[in-house]
């Protein structure tokens, strides 16, 4: 005997799943946009990306517990701090490795740093899984039978604000123009008076800042531990491959797709299959359209 | 030539006699060395010679192990040396078939995209083995070894892995000396030019990939035997994939001795010297990787090889990022 409301409830379930996916995707987009910028502009696959995200989450946790700063406000100081950390890291280590060996060496160096940082985070914060829980973290809004957590809603809004900010910086400011010029043609940019090594460092810093800011947001939405860093690195890579390299819009599209894929897989196939389906999509995408749905933002002259 | 024969004989005698003088723990370390050095050599066929850096080669360890275990279980073969050989051969061949099938689509990707696609394949295979009930990756599988009378397991597997290591070494040597090996090198240096000059790049890449997979699958099936009982997470291990790359880089990528030297150095460092400092293991490995990239971009073999070596094999030439 079929339940007369069966199709109604099925429809609500699909809408709720889509909503969850969109919310998750918004956060994924922010977490990936820094990786995307660094990959697109510098050609570096930054395996330390997940570490930046997790460090951002820990920094927000410390700020929250010690100074009582709201995690969403903590994104700003965390981002500023990681801009300088990222700049120093690129100029001091990654650039040195690239000039001594090759671009591929940057993979190894960032991997090595990721191992070191993961170990240090385990020593300092213990390998336990943490969450940041501000007072409002268990309240939620309901629309009819649809439900959304307030933290998640704020997280998505903050993510979209950050993505817009990145888009504006890249397209409207002189700094953004220097970044785009360097990404397209380092030599020509240099001839036009751009200090290329400096801009490369700044670009990396910007990527690191956005990664850390996303970590502060993620800390409220999802549990984290030092060993979840590789999840965020891979996630960022999948987002970039889905959406396209180097642009906030690509990251947003890729992030939302990934969010939808993982929430629908978890709901209708089984939660233990989300990773398998995510990677399957990644491999298929690489095979049919490796440049991503929107293509590379800096690709015109390469 | 006679020098080489003496050297080879000397090495063989050392390998055969070594367990007599070692404590069981050290026998295990040397056994691990044979295993990881052979893995690195197998990775090197594609990663070092052709410049196709796979970040998910552990997928073949896993497939080899699972294929072997299911094969002997489904056929109901009684435990014994023949069953072990049959399992290992089947694991290796099955990996070869899988590799030959995925070779065409996956090898169209280059550089970092190939690396990440392999990582993705490794993850998908691991998750499937873990979640699809039929594979029994979550509850685990048994592979019984029938030890000859009076031989301890660590000693038995020491000799097994020593044999497989020598086999992998010989295969690598033959590949590097062959026309096919030069084809792989040509692909690494400039794939488009090689293709234009008439090198059958598609076939060579697919063949190299398959050889590499067969060797890793053979080692993976044997590894599963040495464990006796394994789950998906004990054979689909991302650190296996990364270690293959790191050992090659540290020793000298694209060389015959490099992967072996790299494996020996890293194992000495992590198992013996840092054996007490388990908490700092990752940190030490990371530091070594960074120091090697900064100070020895051509690996340890680059130190002894001289200029001609540097021109022929180096990190600069290998694995273009895009």
- Over residues B61-118, the pLDDT tens digits come to 999 999 999 999 888 888 778 889 999 999 999 999 999 999 988 898 887 788 888 9
- Once rounded to an integer, what is the mean pLDDT over residues B236-247? 87
| Domain assignments of chain A as residue spans, ordered by start | 24-227
Partner residue opposite B286 with nearest CB, options A43, A116, A122: A116
pLDDT of A290 higher than 60: yes
Contact A276 B294 (CB under 8 A): no
Contact A286 B238 (CB under 8 A): no
Nearest Cα of chain B lies from the Cα of A6 at a distance, in angstroms, of 29
Share of chain B above pLDDT 70, in %: 93
Nearest Cα of chain B lies from the Cα of A277 at a distance, in angstroms, of 7
Q: Which chain A residue's Cα is nearest to B245? A: A108
B33-59: pLDDT as tens digits: 999 999 999 999 999 899 898 988 999
B264-319: pLDDT as tens digits: 988 888 777 776 777 777 788 888 888 888 887 777 777 766 555 555 554 444 44
Indicate the pTM of the whole model. 0.83
pLDDT of A301 higher than 50: no
Nearest Cα of chain A lies from the Cα of B283 at a distance, in angstroms, of 4
| Domain assignments of chain B as residue spans, ordered by start | 23-238
B208-218: pLDDT as tens digits: 999 999 999 99
Contact B293 A111 (CB under 8 A): no
ipTM over 0.85: no
Most confident option among A147-151, B38-42, B186-190, B307-311: B38-42
Would you tell me how many other CB atoms lie within 10 Å of the CB of residue B187?
26
B75-90: pLDDT as tens digits: 888 877 888 999 999 9
Contact A273 B294 (CB under 8 A): no
CA distance linking residue A246 with residue A294, whole number of Å: 10
B120-144: pLDDT as tens digits: 888 889 888 988 888 888 888 888 8
Please tell me the predicted confidence (pLDDT) of residue A54. Answer: 95
CA distance linking residue B47 with residue B215, whole number of Å: 14
Choosing among B58, B117, B122, which should be mutated to test the A contact, i.e. which has the most A CBs within 10 A?
B117
Please tell me the predicted confidence (pLDDT) of residue A147. Answer: 80
Q: Which residues of B touch A113 (CB under 8 A)?
A: 286, 290
Q: From residue A284, how far is each of B73, B106, B117, B225, B238 by CA, in Å?
A: 33, 10, 9, 34, 21
- Once rounded to an integer, what is the mean pLDDT over residues A35-61? 92
A110-126: pLDDT as tens digits: 988 998 999 999 999 98
In terms of pLDDT, which residue wins out, B162 or A126?
A: B162
- Once rounded to an integer, what is the mean pLDDT over residues B200-224? 95
Q: Which residues of B touch A230 (CB under 8 A)?
A: 238
pLDDT of A201 higher than 90: yes
In terms of pLDDT, which residue wins out, A134 or B172?
A: B172
Asked whether the beta carbons of A140 and A77 are under 8 A apart, the reply is no
């Amino acid at each position: 005997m079929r339940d007369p409301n069966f199709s109604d409830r099925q429809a609500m379930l699909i809408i709720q799943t889509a909503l969850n996916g969109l919310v998750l995707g918004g956060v994924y987009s922010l977490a990936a946009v820094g990786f995307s910028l660094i990959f697109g502009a510098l050609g570096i696959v930054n395996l330390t990306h997940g570490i930046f995200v997790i460090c951002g989450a820990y920094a927000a946790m410390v700020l929250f517990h010690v100074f009582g700063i709201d995690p969403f406000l903590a994104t700003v100081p965390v981002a500023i701090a990681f801009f300088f950390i990222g700049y120093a890291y690129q100029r001091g280590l990654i650039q040195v490795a690239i000039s001594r060996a090759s671009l591929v060496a940057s993979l190894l160096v960032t991997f090595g740093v990721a191992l070191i940082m993961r170990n240090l985070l385990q020593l300092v914060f213990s390998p336990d899984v943490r969450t940041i829980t501000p007072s409002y973290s268990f309240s939620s809004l309901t629309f009819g039978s649809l439900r959304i957590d307030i933290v998640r809603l704020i997280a998505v809004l903050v993510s979209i604000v950050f993505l817009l900010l990145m888009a504006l910086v890249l397209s409207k400011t002189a700094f953004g123009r220097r970044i785009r010029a360097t990404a397209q043609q380092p030599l020509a940019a240099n001839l036009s008076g751009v200090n290329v090594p400096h801009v490369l460092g700044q670009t990396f810093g910007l990527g690191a800042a956005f990664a850390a800011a996303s970590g502060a947001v993620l800390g409220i939405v999802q549990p984290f531990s030092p060993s979840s860093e590789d999840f965020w690195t891979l996630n960022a890579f999948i987002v970039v491959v889905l959406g396209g390299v180097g642009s906030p819009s690509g990251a947003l599209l890729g992030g939302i797709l990934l969010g939808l894929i993982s929430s629908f897989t978890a709901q209708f196939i089984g939660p233990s299959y989300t990773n398998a389906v995510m990677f399957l999509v990644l491999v298929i995408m690489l095979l049919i359209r490796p440049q991503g749905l929107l293509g590379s933002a800096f690709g015109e002259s390469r | 030539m006679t020098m080489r024969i003496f050297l080879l004989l000397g090495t063989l005698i050392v390998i055969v006699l070594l367990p007599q003088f070692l404590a069981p723990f050290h026998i295990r370390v040397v056994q691990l060395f044979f295993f990881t050095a052979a893995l690195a050599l197998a990775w090197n066929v594609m990663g070092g010679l052709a410049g196709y850096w796979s970040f998910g080669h552990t997928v073949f360890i896993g497939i080899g192990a699972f294929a072997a275990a299911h094969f002997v279980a489904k056929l109901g073969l009684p435990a014994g040396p023949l069953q072990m050989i049959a399992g290992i051969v089947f694991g290796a061949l099955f990996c070869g078939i899988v590799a030959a099938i995925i070779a065409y689509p996956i090898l169209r990707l280059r550089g970092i995209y190939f690396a990440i696609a392999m990582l993705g394949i490794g993850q998908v295979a691991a998750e499937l083995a873990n979640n699809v009930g039929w594979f029994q990756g979550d509850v685990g599988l048994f592979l019984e070894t029938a030890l000859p009378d009076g031989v301890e397991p660590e000693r038995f597997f020491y000799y097994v892995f020593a044999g497989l290591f020598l086999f992998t070494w010989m295969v690598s040597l033959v590949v590097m000396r062959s026309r096919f090996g030069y084809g792989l090198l040509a692909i690494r240096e400039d794939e488009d030019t090689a293709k234009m000059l008439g090198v059958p790049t598609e076939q060579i890449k697919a063949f190299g990939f398959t050889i590499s997979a067969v060797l890793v699958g053979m080692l993976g099936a044997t590894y599963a035997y040495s464990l006796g009982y394994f789950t998906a997470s004990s054979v689909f291990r991302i650190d296996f994939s990364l270690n293959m790359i790191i050992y090659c880089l540290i020793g000298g990528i694209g060389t015959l001795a490099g992967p072996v030297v790299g494996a020996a150095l890293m194992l000495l460092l992590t198992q013996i010297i840092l054996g007490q400092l388990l908490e700092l293991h990752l940190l030490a490995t990371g530091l070594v990787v960074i120091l090697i990239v900064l100070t020895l971009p051509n690996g340890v073999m680059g130190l002894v090889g001289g200029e001609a070596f540097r021109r022929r094999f180096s990190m600069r030439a290998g694995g273009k990022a895009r």
